[in-house]
Amino acid sequence: MWLLTAGRLCAEEPEVTRARELMQRNPAVAKVYYDAGNVFYKHGLREEALQTWQRAGGLKLTYAEPHTAIGLAYFDRGENEKALDKFKQAVLIDSYNADARYYLGMVLEDDGRLEDAIPEWEKAVRIDPYHTEARLSLADAYVNTGQVDDALKEYQTVIRQKPASPEAYYHYGQALYVKKRYDEALKALENFVRYSSFENQDVDDVNAAKHLIKKLEERIS
């Protein structure tokens, strides 16, 4: 299929064409529309993705995933109120949807309601103990609300599950520093710098970690 883009004909991505064909063949299957929406979103067709997810949600009212996807699209656009409604709708349909609870917490945090976000992340990790994003968000929230010991347990869990997670080591090291466990903080931050070379880690975070490592080395020596 060809599309008119900026006055020129451009070939459509094969994956997008395939998604359209599947929708045409399965006009009443919600999962087909949900998957197609994911494909459209991946290729930058945001409005079409949103419309496709809405169609999926309308086809099967007990299907939570399209509402979660729509909520995320709204959240990406800064439309928090609409996003919140969609995530709540997803949770109402499926209270064991860890992704919906994670994103619900993210919107609440973004709205300055961290105390309300924490229970959502706690539920998310109970539903899916390997939901790394929810567990890291929960740990960070514990730090920000003075529950550093609880935060350390969550960071340790992530590190056990994903031993090469730079983000976990970074925040774990900072939390250990707050608790004045300097030797452990130094080791955690060194691991962060070590593993960050394998991922697109924020340069500012790497520089901040190196600065703190230097301070810790001076303190310990």
The stretch 7-22 carries a mean pLDDT of 75
Dihedral over alpha carbons 134, 171, 202, 163 (to 10 degrees) = -70
DSSP strands (E only) in 2-100: 2-5, 8-11
Instruction: Decide: 88 and 103 in contact? Cβ < 8 Å.
Output: no
**Tokens read off for 199:** 């991922």
pLDDT computed for residue 3 by the predictor: 47
Instruction: Please name the residues in contact with 40: beta carbons below 8 A apart, sequence gap of 6 or more.
Output: 16, 19, 46, 48, 49, 52
In this structure, of 69-78, 102-111, 121-130, 131-140, the range with the lowest mean pLDDT score is: 69-78
Of residues 175 and 205, more confidence is placed in 175
What is the value of pTM for the model shown? 0.81
Instruction: Decide: 60 and 54 in contact? Cβ < 8 Å.
Output: no
Instruction: Decide: 71 and 49 in contact? Cβ < 8 Å.
Output: no
Please state, in angstroms and rounded to a whole number, the distance separating the CA atoms of residues 65 and 62: 9
Q: Share the mean pLDDT of the chain.
A: 89
Using pLDDT thresholds of 50, 70 and 90, give the confidence band for residue 7.
very low
Tell me the pLDDT tens digit for each residue of 49-71: 889 998 888 877 788 999 999 99
Tell me the pLDDT tens digit for each residue of 139-191: 999 999 999 999 999 999 999 999 999 999 999 999 999 999 999 999 999 99
Please state, in angstroms and rounded to a whole number, the distance separating the CA atoms of residues 68 and 25: 25
Please state, in angstroms and rounded to a whole number, the distance separating the CA atoms of residues 124 and 135: 8
Instruction: Decide: 52 and 37 in contact? Cβ < 8 Å.
Output: yes
